[in-house]
Homo-oligomer: A and B are copies of this chain.
Amino acid sequence: MKEVTPEVTIRRLTRYLRCLEFMSENGKKVVLSKELAKTCKISSSLVRRDLSYFGDFGVKGTGYDIEVLKQKIRNILGIDRTRNLIVIGIGNVGRVLLNYQFMNPGLRIIAGFDKDPQKAGKKINGIPVYHDDKLEEFIKNNNISIAVVAVPRDAVHEVVNRLVNSGVKAILSFALIPIQVPEDVVLSYVEIESELEILSYKLKTRGL
């Protein structure tokens, strides 16, 4: 496997994984690359190329064992191990996250943090919520893979700085605010407005 894989390829792998999970839920055991392509709405040739790029997973003609393929993709994505997550900001978005039913057993939210003392000490979906001032100590004492930032826009900058200073190496932000982080920290965004804009663009190209 090459070290630098384009993000679009990795994004497709997560898509295959979602489709494979869906097939498993529906009792399917084996899938042909053309079926996977159809379900994921990605071209057959691209599916074959992606899968061969990461090593040959299937037997020609008989298709792929879905469980094996899921496990291979999880391994590539680094979620075949436990990834401890924390969520900072337990407002509407934070509550969505703490209640999220992950398909991957490896993704595990172990704590939430909020500035509001009323929220600290409670549990949401079995996950403890701590006061924000415990953040650094918690990060120091637990092996945190990813911190999810769901605080209001004007607090994002401060929270990200605290996370970086505490040694967190991966951050997912729910506000697309330009933030400078060191080279060794990966930062990405879940940004609803941009997704709506992309849909708007697609409508426009269709004259709508």
Contacts and interface: CB of A to CB of B under 8 A. Distances in A.
A43 to B, nearest CB: 15
A172 interface: yes
Contact of A190 (B3, B22, B102, B190): B190
A145 B207 CA distance: 12
B92 A99 contact: yes
A201 B18 CA distance: 16
A197 interface: yes
A175 B190 CA distance: 14
A169 B15 contact: no
A68 interface: no
Interface in A1-36: 3-4, 7-8, 10-11, 13-15, 17-19, 22
A17 B197 contact: yes
Given A18-B193, A92-B96, A190-B192, 10 more contacts: A14-B191, A18-B176, A18-B194, A77-B198, A78-B203, A85-B196, A100-B193, A102-B193, A145-B203, A186-B199
Interface of A: 3-4, 7-8, 10-11, 13-15, 17-19, 22, 39-41, 76-79, 83, 85, 92-93, 95-97, 99-100, 102-104, 106-107, 145-146, 148, 169-170, 172, 176-178, 184, 186, 188-206, 208
